[in-house]
Amino acid sequence: MGLMNNNRRALALFSGGLDGMLAVKALEKQVFFVNCLHFTSPFFGEPEKIKHWQEACGLDVRAVDIGPEFVRMLAGGVRFGFGKHLNPCLDCKILMLDTARKFLSELGAKFIITGEVLGQRPMSQRRDAMDIVSREAKVRNLLLRPLCARRLKPTPMEESGLVDRDLLFGITGRGRKDQLGLAREFGLAETPNSGGGCKLSMPESARRYAPVLARMPSPDVRDFFLANVGRQFWAGNHWLCVGRDHADNDRLESLAGDEDLVFTLENFPGPVAVGRAHPGASWDPETVRAAAAFTATFSPRARKGMRPVNVRVRRGAQVEVVSVSPAREERPEFQEPSGSEIAQVRERLGY
Query: pLDDT-derived band of residue 328, with 50, 70 and 90 as boundaries?
Result: low
238 and 159 co-located in one domain: no
Look up the domain containing 49 and give its range: 6-199
116 and 207 co-located in one domain: no
Residue 281 lies in a domain: yes
**pLDDT at residue 326, as a whole number:** 86
Over residues 190-234, the pLDDT tens digits come to 887 765 589 999 999 999 999 999 999 999 999 999 999 999 999
Domain stops at, among 142, 170, 199? 199
Q: Around 287, how many Cα atoms within 13 Å sit in the side-chain half-sphere?
A: 16
Residue 162 lies in a domain: yes
155 and 258 co-located in one domain: no
Residue 349 lies in a domain: no
In this structure, is the dihedral angle defined by the CA atoms of residues 52, 109, 165 and 152, taken in order, positive or negative?
A: positive
Residue 347 lies in a domain: no
Residue 105 lies in a domain: yes
211 and 190 co-located in one domain: no
Cα–Cα distance measured from residue 18 to residue 183, given in angstroms and rounded to the nearest whole number: 8
Strand partners, 315: 318
195 and 233 co-located in one domain: no
165 and 22 co-located in one domain: yes
DSSP string, 98-153: HHHHTTHHHHT-SEEE----BTSSTTTSSHHHHHHHHHHTT-TTTEE-TTTGGGSP
178 and 208 co-located in one domain: no
Domain stops at, among 177, 199, 221? 199
Return the exposure string of 193-204: e unless at least 16 CB atoms fall within 10 Å of the residue's CB, then b.
ebbbebbbbbee
183 and 231 co-located in one domain: no
Residue 346 lies in a domain: no
40 and 165 co-located in one domain: yes
Under DSSP, is residue 165 helix (H, G, I), strand (E, B) or coil? Answer: helix
Over residues 73-114, the pLDDT tens digits come to 999 999 999 999 999 999 999 999 999 999 999 999 999 999
Is the CB of residue 44 less than 8 Å from the CB of residue 199?
yes
Cα–Cα distance measured from residue 127 to residue 117, given in angstroms and rounded to the nearest whole number: 10
Q: ∠122-124-128 over CA atoms, to 5°?
A: 95
Residues 6+ apart with CB under 8 A from 343: none
Query: Domain with 179 in it: what CATH number?
Result: 3.40.50.620
